[in-house]
Amino acid sequence: MRADLVLVGFGNVGRRFAGLVSEVRPRLLDEWDLDCRITCIVTRRHGGAFRPSGIDGVRAADILEETESLEGLHDPAAGAAPRTGFDAIRLVADSTAPLRVLVETTTLNVHDGQPAVDHVRAALSAGLNVVTANKGPAAFAYRELHAKAGAAGLSFLFEGAVMDGIPVFNLVRETLPAVNVLGFRGVVNATTNHILTALEDGEEFGPALRRMQAEGIAEADASLDVDGWDAAAKAAALANVLMDAGITPHTVSRAGIGPQSAAQARRARECGRRLRLVAEGRRGAIPAVGPTELPEDDLLAGLRGTANALVLETDLLGRIVVGQLDSGLTQTAYAVLSDLVAIRRAARREAPARRTP
């Protein structure tokens, strides 16, 4: 089954996703009968391109790096090149492919989640399924977007918004029927965990942060990580999706880390404790994010570097832990890919794939 993809945002995550789609193409075809074709890419400052016959995503990433523009990839016979995400969505809405999907990986905006929320709204209105790694839509407008997708018979998926490709939302939705999530507690921001681990090992704040920026793991505006906004957006998304909270990241009680955390991290370690940026929430209560000293035998205290883990407290299964020891761009790109396969699976319930894994 062919899926035409419109990539709104083509930065670290978008480019790694395009590469991954190309790397796993034979498996997607063989195992899922999923034929992904990127037909449109648009950025904020580097132009956009529409090519109904398909764009080679790996070549697009190379061209973007060489020329700082995507314009050269545009097919002039297809009209004007898209200039905004909304142009791109309109162009792909005309495709006759059985699956049309918006892959939204624009920058996180912690003020109001825009323009990602409007991109998702526009795509659902135009009949496109939506996959996003951006926390904004689930953190600011989950109820509305989930209802809109449901009414249109479309998917609105965002596994990459929390803990990259490690299933959190998909885990609960697909594998925990009749289970109520009562609360969560976790280390969910790789950049701050890397920095706090480095600080307790005696390193300085600046170099540790710069390493995360160099690897493309820190947010474009790294203050979003260190001030706790990224974790607050994740806490809001978790509370909204798993516990129907109807909140935004601004509701979350939030504290971040900074160079002053070095002394606290080292002191905690000397006392047999560990300083971690913990996000927690309980059904009916306001979630909180902040640096927390944990006893050494706390599961979260043992997370070093970019490792993340989330404990879900449930009514029927007690506490469940999901975690990742390595996080990075491939893991985030995989989250987007896994959501695409989930969309194909939903479609497959009507038209079975060739081989069931």
A 10 A CB-CB count for 156 gives 23
Q: Quote the CA–CA distance of 337 and 92 in Å, as a whole number.
A: 19
Q: How far is the CB of 104 from ligand NAP (least distance, A)?
A: 8
Is 9 among the residues that bind ligand NAP (CB under 6 A)? yes
Tokens of 104: 């939204």
Report the residue from 3, 5, 6, 13 that binds ligand NAP according to the rule CB under 6 A: 13
- Cα 254-163-131 angle, rounded to 5 deg: 105
Contact assessment for residue 276 and residue 287, using Cβ atoms and an 8 Å cutoff: no
Figure out which of the listed residues 52, 57, 82, 85 binds ligand NAP, where binding follows CB under 6 A.
85
β pairing state of 273-282 and 288-295: antiparallel
**Binding string, 243-282, against ligand NAP, x = CB under 6 A?**
----------------------------------------
CA distance 184 to 277: 14
Q: Considering only residues 39, 134, 155, 261, which one is a binding residue for ligand NAP as defined by CB under 6 A? A: 134
Q: How far is the CB of 182 from ligand NAP (least distance, A)?
A: 26
DSSP code string of 87-101: HHHHHHHT---SEEE
- Taking contact as CB under 6 A, which single stretch among the options 130-138, 249-257, 287-295, 296-304 is the one that binds ligand NAP? 130-138
The two tokens of residue 145 are 């977007």
Establish if 11 lies at the interface with ligand NAP (CB under 6 A).
Answer: yes
Q: Is 287 in the site for ligand NAP (CB under 6 A)?
A: no
Beta 156-157 vs 181-187: how paired, if at all?
Answer: unpaired
What's the closest the beta carbon of residue 155 comes to ligand NAP, in angstroms?
18
Nearer to ligand NAP, 264 or 338 (CB): 338
The span from the CA of 217 to the CA of 71, in Å, is 27
Contact region with ligand NAP (CB under 6 A), list: 146-154, 165-173, 217-225, 283-291: 217-225
- 234 catalytic per annotation: yes
Q: Which stretch binds ligand NAP (CB under 6 A): 43-51, 259-267, 270-278, 344-352?
A: 43-51
Helix (H) or strand (E) holding 139, with range, is helix 136-152
Contact, 288 vs 310, CB < 8 A? Answer: no
Q: Which residues bind ligand NAP (CB under 6 A)?
A: 8-14, 42-46, 85, 105-108, 115, 133-135, 160, 164, 216-217, 219-220, 329, 332
Which residues are designated catalytic? 234
